[in-house]
Amino acid sequence: MSGAQPQQLAQRAHDGALELGGDLVGRLVSEVLDSGAEVDALLCFNDRLAMGAYQALQERGVRVPEDVSVLSFDDTSFARWLRPGLTTFAFPQRALGRAAADELIDLIERGAATDGSSPPPAHLVPLPLRMRSSVTDRT
**Domains of the chain with CATH codes:** 6-92 (3.40.50.2300)
Asked if 78 and 52 touch (Cβ cutoff 8 Å), the reply is no
Mean pLDDT for 121-137 is 89
pLDDT number for residue 99: 87
| pTM for the whole structure | 0.72
Mean pLDDT of 96-100: 88
Q: Specify the pLDDT at position 61.
A: 93
* Contact status, residue 71 vs residue 137, Cβ threshold 8 Å: no
Q: Tens digits of per-residue pLDDT, 28-65? A: 888 888 888 888 999 988 898 899 899 999 999 999 99
Higher pLDDT, 1 or 108: 108
